[in-house]
Structure 1
Amino acid sequence: MLTFGVIGCGSIGGFLARLLTREDAELAGRARLAAVVGRDPVRAAALAAEVGCAATDVAGLLARRDVDAVLVCTPSGTHAELAEAALRAGKHVLVEKPVDVTPQAADRLIAVARETGRTLGVVSQHRFDPAARLARTAIESGRLGRVTSVMTELSWWRGPSYYASGTWRGTRALDGGGALMNQAIHAVDLVQWLAGPVVEVAAHTARLAHPGIEVEDVATASLRFANGALGTLLASTAAYPGRTARTAVNGDRGSVVIDDDKLAYLHLAAEGEDAPAYGAFGAADQSAAYAAELTGEGARDASGLLYQPHRDQLLDFCEAVREGRPPLVDGAGGRQAVAVVTAIYTSARTGLPQRVDRAVPANDGRTQKSP
C-alpha cells in the first residue's frame, strides 16, 4: 500500500484526490490519500473535506512519516522544484505533465531521483488508453510493417475564462508555452511511445486568437523520427469550438488511427495480402474485430476526465515502487516529450530545423532489482 499526498488543488489535483478516495476495486489496498496541499488554504480545506483527508502545507506534507509518495499537480514551471524537495524528503514522486518546462530542469530532477533512490514518474495517462495499448502492440509486433508516417492533430478551443482561471496560465515562466507545452504534450509523448523518438523538427508557432497571453495558441511542426519515419503535428487552442485529438500511424503493412482516445481505424495486412494498386481509400477497416480488447472506458469524474487511464498509471507507479523498477512513464520519458517541444519552439523562433536534445542522465529513477 502506497500512501499519497497531493500538492496542488486545482482541476487535476482535485481529480486525482477524488480518484484516490473513490471506491475502486483495482486501487483498493494499493493506494490511499493522506493529505492535500494548496496555495489557497480555503480551497485546500474544501477539497480535503470533500475527499475525507487532511489539509496541510508543503513542509507539513513532506514531514509526514505516513506519506510514501507525492503527486505534484502545480503550475508546470514549479514541478521540478517541488518534486526535488519531495524526493529529498524520501518520497517517491509522480509529477503531472510536463515534468517541467525545460529539459535542463528535467535533467536535474532525474539526477536527484537517481541520487536518492526514489521512484520518479510523469503523468502521461494516454499511454494507458486501451486504443493506445492495442496500437503499441500492433506496432511492436511488426504488424504495421515499417512505420512510414505519423500525423497528430489537436484542434482544441480554450476560451478567455480558461486563461483567466489561473494567473500562471499562458505565461512563459510557469506554463512554459501554450497549446504545445500545455495541451499537446500528451500527443508528443504518445507519438514517440508508438513510433519511436523524434530526432529533428521544423516548426512555426503563432498567437492568433488569444492576444492576452504570452505564448502560442497555434503550433505546427514537421517531425523526423529515429527510424526514418516522417510526421506532422498541429497543436491549437484556437480552433473554435474545439474538435477531438487525432493521431494516425501508417506503415507499409498497416495503419492505425486513434481519435478522441478511441480506436477509429485499424488495418493489419494478412500474410500474402496485397491492397489494390491505388489503395483502399479508407476501406478495409478491421477495428470492429478488436472491440473486445478495447474495454475499460468506464466512469468519468465530474470534471469529465476518465478515471481508467489515470487509475492504471497509478497502479503501474505503485507496482514500480514495489518491484524497484522505473514506471512506464519515467523521468526520461517525461524529459523526451519536453525536449521535442523545446526544439519546436527553437525552430519556430530561429526559422531553422532543430535536432532534438536527447541527452538523459543514466539510470533514471530507482536502481532496478537484479533479475
Structure 2
Amino acid sequence: MVRIGIVGIGFMGRIHFLASQRLTGAKVTAICSRDAAKRAGDWRNTRGNFGPEPGQVDLTGVKAYADLSEMLADPDIDLIDVCTVTDQHTPIVLAALKAGKHVLVEKAIALSPQDADAMVAAAKSAGKLLMVAHVLPFFPEFRFAAEVISGGLYGKVVGAHFKRVIAKPDWSADIGDAAKTGGPAVDLHIHDTHFIGLVCGVPKHVFSVGTVESDAVTYLTTSYLYGPGGPAVTCSSGAVSMGGRPFVHGYEIYLEKATLLYDSGGVPLTMLTADGRSTQPELAGGGDALSAFSDELQAAVTGVTTGTEPALLSGQLARDALVLCHREIESVKLGKPVAIG
C-alpha cells in the first residue's frame, strides 16, 4: 500500500483527495495545511472551475499536519503530493526529496527553468521519483490523440492547432499573479506546451503575440517553429474573456492519413480518415474530470511501486514545457521569434 501525504489543501488539493478515493493499492494517510479549519475537514473555501461543490470532508484516519517538517519526518508516508501554489513548489519538493520521499508535484513544476533543473537534479541525487502532475494526457480525448500519433498508423503530424480559454477567474487571484503562478501563460498554458512537447517534440523557435497585464501574459497565440519538414503547430490560450465564458479546450490535429477534431465546448472527438469516413471513438472515462485525475494518481502510485518514472509524469518533460512557456512570454514582450535552446 502506497501511503500518500497531500501538501496544500486548496482547489487542487481537494481534487487530488477526491481522486485518491478511487485508487488501487494506495490511499491518502495525511494532509498538511496551515489552515486549522482545513485540517478539521472544513474545505468549503476550495472552490475551483470544475468538480463537485466543496464542503465538509471526513478525515477519519487521516493525519493532519500544520508543519511540513513534521509531515516529512513521518515514516508512514511514501509519496508526497504537492498541491500548493507554484511559487512554493521548489522548497517543498527539495525538502521532501531530502527526507527520502517520492514526490508528485502539481504543474507547473516550478516558476523558473532553473528551479526545475534543480528539482530534477535533486531527485536523481536522492534516488527518488520526481513526478509532475500534468493531467491533460490522462483526459480521454487527449490520451486518444497521443496514442494515435505515437502509434504511427495514420502517419506523422503535418499540422495542429490547440486552444485553451477561460474567463477571467473570480475563484482565484493567484492565476493572474506572475510572481505566484507565472500568470495564465504559465499556469494555464503549460497544459498545452506539455502536450505539444509530448506529441510533436520541442520546437527550435517560438513566435508569440499576446496581451500583458501587470507584467503577466494573459492571452497569447503561438507558432511553434520546427524548421523545414517539421509540423505547422499553433496554439491560443488565455484568461481574458468576460465572465460567463465556460472553460473550453480542444484541438484540430492533421495527420498524413487522418484528422482529429475535438472541442470541449461542443465538438465530440471525431476522426476523419482518408477513406471519407467520420467516426466518433468510444472513450473510457466519459465526462467525469475526476477520472483523469485518478488515472494520473494511479500512474504515480505505479511509479512508486515499480520504482520507474511514468513517462507522462516525467520531470524532464515538465521542465521542457515550462521552458516553452517562458520563451513564449519572452516572444510576446519582445515582439519577435525566440530560440528555445
TM range (shorter): 0.7 to 0.9
Alignment RMSD (CA, Å): 2.1
Aligned to 2:188: 183
Output the amino acid matched with 2:286: E
Of 148-157 and 113-122, more deviation after overlay is shown by 148-157
Q: CA deviation at 1:150?
A: 1.4
Q: CA deviation at 1:44?
A: 3.0
Q: 78, 81, 100: which one pairs with 2:110?
A: 100
**Residues 1:112 and 2:107 are matched in the alignment:** no
Q: CA deviation at 1:238?
A: 1.2
Q: CA deviation at 1:117?
A: 0.5
Secondary structure of 1:334 counterpart: helix
Aligned to 2:338: 354
Contact 1:181 1:341 (C-alpha < 8 Å) held by counterparts: yes
Output the amino acid matched with 1:222: S
Q: CA deviation at 1:320?
A: 1.4
Secondary structure of 2:122 counterpart: helix
Q: 264, 268, 290: which one pairs with 1:307?
A: 290
Q: CA deviation at 1:119?
A: 0.7
**Residues 1:158 and 2:158 are matched in the alignment:** no
CA 83–309 in structure 1, closer or farther in 2 if over 3 Å, else same: same
Contact 1:153 1:233 (C-alpha < 8 Å) held by counterparts: yes
Correspondence 1:165-204 to 2 at 5 A: 168-176=174-182, 178-204=183-209
The unaligned stretches of length 5 or more in structure 2 are: 44-55
Contact 1:62 1:86 (C-alpha < 8 Å) held by counterparts: yes
Aligned to 1:251: 255
Distance 1:319 1:79 in 2: 23
Distance 2:287 2:279 in 1: 23
Q: 111, 118, 126: which one pairs with 2:136?
A: 126
Aligned to 1:242: 245
CA 98–120 in structure 1, closer or farther in 2 if over 3 Å, else same: same
Q: CA deviation at 1:47?
A: 4.9
Output the amino acid matched with 1:224: L
Aligned to 1:303: none
Q: CA deviation at 1:143?
A: 2.8
Secondary structure of 1:193 counterpart: helix
Secondary structure of 2:223 counterpart: strand
Distance 2:268 2:301 in 1: 28
Aligned to 2:41: 46
Q: Deviations over 1:60-116 (max 9, x none)?
A: 110100000101111112112111110110100000010011111110000000000
Aligned to 1:364: none
CA 319–151 in structure 1, closer or farther in 2 if over 3 Å, else same: same
Contact 1:195 1:249 (C-alpha < 8 Å) held by counterparts: no
Q: CA deviation at 1:13?
A: 0.6
Output the amino acid matched with 1:296: G
Contact 1:144 1:251 (C-alpha < 8 Å) held by counterparts: yes
The unaligned stretches of length 5 or more in structure 1 are: 276-283, 300-305, 358-371
Aligned to 1:219: 220
Aligned to 2:49: none
Distance 2:251 2:109 in 1: 22
Output the amino acid matched with 1:11: F
Output the amino acid matched with 1:173: A
Output the amino acid matched with 2:188: Q
Aligned to 2:48: none
Contact 1:203 1:219 (C-alpha < 8 Å) held by counterparts: yes
Q: CA deviation at 1:298?
A: 6.4
Task: Count residues in correspondence.
Answer: 321
Give runs of ≥4 in structure 1 deviating > 3 Å: none
Aligned to 2:27: 32
Aligned to 1:327: 310
Output the amino acid matched with 2:252: A
Contact 1:150 1:191 (C-alpha < 8 Å) held by counterparts: no
Q: CA deviation at 1:335?
A: 0.5
Q: CA deviation at 1:263?
A: 4.7
TM-score (norm 2): 0.87
Q: CA deviation at 1:314?
A: 1.2
Aligned to 1:228: 230
Output the amino acid matched with 1:228: G
Distance 1:229 1:298 in 2: 30
Contact 2:190 2:321 (C-alpha < 8 Å) held by counterparts: yes
